[in-house]
Amino acid sequence: MKQRELAVWLKLIMVCCGIFGGLFCIYIAPETAKAILLDADESLSSLYTPFLTFIWVTGMPFFISLRLGWQICSDIYVGDAFTLPNANRLKWISFHAMMEGVLYIGALVYFFTAGSYAVNAVIAMLLILFFAITIAVFTSMLSHLVRNASELKQENELTI
């Protein structure tokens, strides 16, 4: 696959992720929270607003990371993938993924200390935590590799 094709496919995937993330933050999470927290159980109705706030706060690093990924794809499109700015962008994506992980660890601690939680919610949060940590580790490794490739590229340009 050529670089331009790869960049276009990656951007298409990011657009789909952005649409799904937006739908989740704007429609799916509020409607699910309404059905579970407001309609089903009176004791959980006080958690509706904090839940929505939590979802919107955790959405911010996601959308910022999508923007950084879009910039990386733009550089891939023009054939400039191995640069220090891309290494820094990957480092920031790793940081944002770790922020997501910390937020979900905080939510898990809150659930366990409050004593009222649904098993399905805990499983979903553990999966999100797992994915956040996995993304953080792999983008950190990619950042290191892109930084090394950028340095090698600069050395090769100086020797020619």
pLDDT at 39: 73
Within a 10 A sphere around the Cβ of 69, how many other Cβ atoms?
Answer: 20
Distance between CA atoms of 129 and 126, rounded to whole angstroms? 5
Instruction: Give the pTM.
Output: 0.87
Kindly give, in sequence order, each residue whose CB lies less than 8 Å from that of residue 151, ignoring residues fewer than 6 positions away.
Answer: none
Give long-range contacts, CB 8 A cutoff, 24+ apart: 19-22. 21/59, 21/62, 21/63, 21/66
pLDDT in tens, 68-102: 999 999 999 998 889 999 999 999 999 999 999 99
- The token duo for 86 is 């891309």
Half-sphere exposure of residue 29: CA atoms within 13 angstroms, side-chain side:
22
Backbone angles phi, psi at 41, to 5 degrees: -135, 125
Dump pLDDT digits (tens) for 94-140: 999 999 999 999 989 988 887 766 677 788 889 999 999 999 999 99
